[in-house]
Amino acid sequence: MRGAGGGANLLALRSHNTALVLDLLRTAGTEGISRLELAERTGLTPQAVSKITARLREEGLAAEAGRRASTGGKPRTVLRLVPEAGHAVGVHLDRDELRAVLADLDGTVVARRHAPLDLGAGAEAVLGRVASAVGELGAEAAGTRSLLGVGVALPGPLDHRRGVLHRVTGFPEWDGFPLREALSARLGGVPVVVDKDTNAVALGLAVGGEGGSFAYLHLGTGLGAGLVIGGSVHRGPRTGAGEFGHQVVQLDGPRCGCGDRGCVEALCLAAVARGETAEAARVLGTGAANLVGLLDIDRVLVGGRTVEGAPEAFVSGVRGVLEARARRTGEECGVVRLVSGEERVAEGAAQLVLAPVFGQDG
């Protein structure tokens, strides 16, 4: 999830170069890193690095972490990131609940909120709930630099670039609503980033070191996928990639909330409602096998509230379908693994704000 590997000594790319330095400071941890090492790893001149680090120290984002013995001359001063110097709020808007976290620059969650929510209650009510949670969490960061921004993740489809919702399955009244603009205005101009819940988790996983190409399948009150191809979140030219739950696998199947019939989501959730977990896992695995055959991905990761209700059954069920496919085709998918944690989406939403600070795919 790194950006370009080298720097450029151009004023126009100052933010890019600063992101490179910040990323190395974060990676170095509490042990810190010297200016000379920063120059060597970024390809920037020592003078450029000195200017960037001086500015970061002035802004409170970097601090001295001690001195390190040099191979010649005086000991080198090493610098470290100051995680508490900036925070981001990540918000997960599900159909029936809101989860929000306050994360520092390291991505460490330092405060959290959880409350029931009716996504169908209307924009004014939902925005009020979000603004209240952000206000409470923002108060937790009192004494630090201003809040960097708020990331909001919710069911799609939506336009990530413009922050505009489309027809959220089951909630057509949200179609065309400018969530990013409306929430930012409600928060007094605080920057807001909006993305699908699945993309937020996928980003969080990639930033956390989940490399290569993989699909994250999220089964909660709905079903979707977050796709990471070659280390970057794949959203598509219209940011509509990953509408995994609405692939039709049974032409005469039950009606889905999207208006089609026989969607993976409808079949899967119907099986869950009947208490047939094994069947739900088989349907999920069938959809996953289609994805593997289409994209040739390395891994399939599964998570979400419904999956966590019976994790072993879902993981083994999906794995069983993929292994059967592999025996037929001779093509292995790799690992099927559980992604657990009730706040995974909210944490990923915070990374929508934090990742670009470090030159990563936000």
- Render pLDDT for 81-139 as a digit per residue (tens, 0 to 9): 999 999 999 999 999 999 999 999 999 999 999 999 999 999 999 999 999 999 999 88
User: pLDDT tier at 180 (50, 70, 90 boundaries)?
Assistant: very high
Q: DSSP letters along 332-352, please?
A: ----EEEE--TTHHHHHHHHH
Mean pLDDT on 67-80: 77
Q: What residues does CATH 3.30.420.40 cover in the chain?
A: 85-201, 205-339
Q: How many helices (H) and strands (E) does the chain have?
A: 11, 15
Q: What residues does CATH 1.10.10.10 cover in the chain?
A: 11-81
Gap between the Cα atoms of 98 and 131, Å rounded: 12
What pLDDT is stored for residue 101 in this prediction? 98
User: pLDDT tier at 143 (50, 70, 90 boundaries)?
Assistant: very low
% of the chain surpassing 90 pLDDT:
75
pLDDT digits (tens, 9 = 90+) for 184-198: 999 999 999 999 999
Q: Where is pLDDT greater, at 362 or 121?
A: 121
What pLDDT is stored for residue 191 in this prediction? 95
pLDDT digits (tens, 9 = 90+) for 227-254: 999 889 999 887 788 889 999 999 999 9
pTM of the shown model: 0.90
Mean pLDDT on 60-75: 78
Residue 194 pairs with which residues in a beta bridge?
A: 152
Q: Does the structure show a pLDDT above 80 at 333?
A: no
* Mean pLDDT of all residues belonging to the chain: 90
Gap between the Cα atoms of 117 and 119, Å rounded: 6
Among 69-73, 161-165, 199-203, 264-268, the minimum mean pLDDT is found in 69-73
- Which CATH code, of 3.30.110.70, 3.30.70.60, 1.10.10.10, 2.60.40.10, is assigned to 11-81? 1.10.10.10
- Cβ within 8 Å of residue 327, ≥6 positions away: none
Distances (CA, A) of 314 to 223, 295, 319: 13, 22, 8
Quick one: DSSP state of residue 256? P
User: pLDDT tier at 73 (50, 70, 90 boundaries)?
Assistant: low
What pLDDT is stored for residue 242 in this prediction? 83
Q: Does the structure show a pLDDT above 80 at 21?
A: yes
Helix (H, G, I), strand (E, B) or coil at 3: coil
Q: What is the CATH number of domain 85-201?
A: 3.30.420.40
User: pLDDT tier at 7 (50, 70, 90 boundaries)?
Assistant: low
Helix (H, G, I), strand (E, B) or coil at 22: helix
% of the chain surpassing 70 pLDDT:
93
What pLDDT is stored for residue 9 in this prediction? 43
- Which CATH code, of 3.40.50.280, 3.30.70.560, 3.90.230.10, 3.30.420.40, is assigned to 205-339? 3.30.420.40
Q: Where is pLDDT greater, at 74 or 286?
A: 286
Q: Does the structure show a pLDDT above 90 at 178?
A: yes
